[in-house]
A = this chain, B = another copy of it.
Amino acid sequence: MTYRAPISEFRFLFDHVVGFSQVSETDRFAEATPETVEAVLSEAGKLCEDMLAPLQRAGDLHPARLENGVVRTSPGYDEGYRAIAEGGWIAIAADPEYGGMGLPMTMTSAVNEMMSSACLSLQLAPLMTQGQIEALEHHATDEIKALYLPKLIAGEWMGTMNLTEPQAGSDVGALTTKATPNGDGTYAITGQKIYISWGDNDFTENVCHLVLARLPDAVPGTKGISLFLVPKRIPDANGIPGVANSLKVVSLEHKMGLHGSPTAVMQYDGATGWLIGKENDGMRAMFTMMNNARLGVGIQGIGVAEGAYQHALAYAEGRKQGRTENNSITDHADVRRMLATMKADTFAARAIALANAVAIDMETATGHADWSARAALLTPITKAFGSDTGIDVASTGVQVHGGMGFIEETGAAQYSRDVRVAAIYEGTNGIQSMDLVGRKLMDGGEAAYRLLDEMEAEAEAARAKRPDLVDPVWQACETLRETTEWMVAHGAQDRFAGSVPYLRGFARVLGAHFHLRAALADPDGPHDRLAAFYIHRILPEHVGLLAHARQGAEDLFAVSVDDLAA
């Protein structure tokens, strides 16, 4: 599988679509000049093309496995992770005090996307570590930071997230893992965690687990959860990993895809842990990590979409069929439709994700509540629409290949199998949608309306120039506004009954907004033509989605569980 890093497309989006110049104009991110962006993306892109992309198929064919309690990773993953670490790509946004580069999340997002295109199962390792670094930066003591952050940032140690238990999936509050004070400031952690991505490996000298658990006197539910850092090997004061902690990998899962990523069942038997943040305040610290991870998982979807698109386009261009022998199947109308849809949807999802990252960077740089509200609003949309786009584009990639798509050697099927989990982990897309219509509209819709005001104002300003594109976008914004008003005016059950189509409809309309920007910045260019394709052909989907979103709960729950089983 060859992969070409889409550097110039990132530059176009940074410069013309997602307003990255705002970020580089802040004091906090003054170093993120166009030259730095170009250098960082080119360097990371080269690593992804040359070093990581060739690992993708090896990871699928030779899954990580557990041998006598030791996780053996896929061939080449050791060297791959080292190369990521040596390039400094584990965490370019991390604090320079601990070895990071302090660069914007927007740039991290582009780098993460390229790594996801090249080899998703390996990219999950730095992604998990990034989330841990951010959680520690925000919530750990200076001592913990000094001990752990340099190792994590340098890639000498790896980080994991431990939330889920067999009886506590989306319902995190039901978890039962126990944390008992040892009397010396540490805690003894006991319990079982499942679905632990990169729960162990055979190439970093330590693995650091962030584990949600309950103190002995904790109240039930999410308010009685605390967060602990539990290293595989307990480091001494100099950061040398010593004694093995009381934890182990019980088993690895056999998964539909992402075979190169070891997904562990972890057992903690009185393992020594350090409290991160305050007692019973673990969910807050966890959300720092989760929000990072949710953006990251949306971007995984986009990365796979890009990889699967390039792969399908290369196949289609090489596939001669039909009467005119020189033409490839790209000249068949439906193949052209599939490829254009893949590209247009990838553009929309990428623009949303990068705009989300820009909002995070502006929040970091300015501390302004409007930016944090914007980031909070966009995060569930990025996660769900990014992962859904990855799944849809990869499936279309299989279809473009015809019969070859179903044959594993081709590689199209692997994209489809690997990315399927992105709609599930870090909060299913159903949970993302509930977050959007629940928590994210609890401001009475203020953040959503502010975004819609901007979208409509921009459309208005461009109306005279491009009525063919502006009219449908403006009308779609109005429908989204009315649906948002409906959501704000209705109770939780009614909102939840339409939450998934609402999120999808929101993303469709927001995607059109960014396509319009791109068209205006590239008149008569490729982005203009792709925007016309999206706005005239794909955007109309929002009508059905938003009509569904406004139906309320009654019709839905009228279909009883008995009816379902009838």
Q: Verify if A547 is at the interface (C-beta below 8 Å from B).
A: yes
When the two chains form the complex, which single residue of B334, B428, B529, B541 contacts A402, counting CB atoms closer than 8 Å? B428
Q: Verify if A403 is at the interface (C-beta below 8 Å from B).
A: yes
Q: Verify if A287 is at the interface (C-beta below 8 Å from B).
A: no
Known A-B contacts A254-B409, A408-B254, A429-B399; A313 and B565 likewise in contact (beta carbons under 8 Å): yes
Q: Determine whether the beta carbon of B256 is less than 8 Å from that of A413.
A: yes
In Å, the complex CA distance between A398 and B557 comes to 22
When the two chains form the complex, which single residue of B313, B330, B343, B551 contacts A536, counting CB atoms closer than 8 Å? B551
Q: Verify if A169 is at the interface (C-beta below 8 Å from B).
A: yes
Minimum C-beta distance from A170 to chain B (A): 7
Interface-lining segment among A121-129, A202-210, A445-453, A492-500: A492-500
In Å, the complex CA distance between A563 and B9 comes to 12
Q: Which of A19-63 contact B (CB under 8 A)?
A: none
Q: Determine whether the beta carbon of A433 is less than 8 Å from that of B497.
A: no
Please name the residue on chain B nearest to A319 by beta carbon.
B169
A556 contacts which chain B residues (CB < 8 A)? Answer: 333, 336-337, 340, 533, 537
Known A-B contacts A538-B548, A547-B540; A334 and B434 likewise in contact (beta carbons under 8 Å): yes
Q: Determine whether the beta carbon of B541 is less than 8 Å from that of A171.
A: no
Q: Verify if A425 is at the interface (C-beta below 8 Å from B).
A: yes
In Å, the complex CA distance between A223 and B447 comes to 64
Q: Verify if A407 is at the interface (C-beta below 8 Å from B).
A: yes
For the side of the interface on A, what is the size category? Answer: 35 or more
A497 contacts which chain B residues (CB < 8 A)? Answer: 333, 336-337
Q: Verify if A488 is at the interface (C-beta below 8 Å from B).
A: no
Q: Verify if A141 is at the interface (C-beta below 8 Å from B).
A: no
When the two chains form the complex, which single residue of B403, B405, B551 contacts A164, counting CB atoms closer than 8 Å? B403
Please name the residue on chain B nearest to A340 by beta carbon.
B559
Q: Which of A507-566 contact B (CB under 8 A)?
A: 526, 529-530, 532-533, 536-538, 540-544, 547-548, 551, 553, 555-566
In Å, the complex CA distance between A428 and B254 comes to 31
Q: Verify if A253 is at the interface (C-beta below 8 Å from B).
A: yes
A393 contacts which chain B residues (CB < 8 A)? Answer: none
Chain A interface, DSSP helix/strand/loop, else mixed: helix
Minimum C-beta distance from A40 to chain B (A): 22
Q: Verify if A317 is at the interface (C-beta below 8 Å from B).
A: yes
Please name the residue on chain B nearest to A561 by beta carbon.
B330
Chain B CB within 10 Å, residue with most, of A402, A405, A501, A553: A402
Known A-B contacts A321-B170, A408-B256, A543-B540; A391 and B402 likewise in contact (beta carbons under 8 Å): no
Known A-B contacts A496-B333, A497-B333, A558-B533; A169 and B403 likewise in contact (beta carbons under 8 Å): yes
Minimum C-beta distance from A308 to chain B (A): 14
Q: Which of A379-419 contact B (CB under 8 A)?
A: 391, 395, 398-399, 402-403, 405-409, 413, 416-417
Q: Which of A339-364 contact B (CB under 8 A)?
A: 339-340, 343
In Å, the complex CA distance between A538 and B338 comes to 23
Q: Verify if A335 is at the interface (C-beta below 8 Å from B).
A: yes
When the two chains form the complex, which single residue of B171, B313, B430 contacts A399, counting CB atoms closer than 8 Å? B430
Known A-B contacts A333-B496, A537-B551; A255 and B407 likewise in contact (beta carbons under 8 Å): yes
With A256-B406, A256-B408 given, can you name 10 additional A-B contacts, CB distance below 8 Å? Answer: A255-B413, A256-B416, A317-B565, A334-B433, A399-B424, A402-B424, A402-B428, A413-B420, A532-B558, A538-B548
- 7 A-B residue pairs with Cβ-Cβ distance under 8 Å, sorted by A, are A171-B321, A253-B406, A256-B408, A333-B557, A340-B556, A406-B421, A543-B544
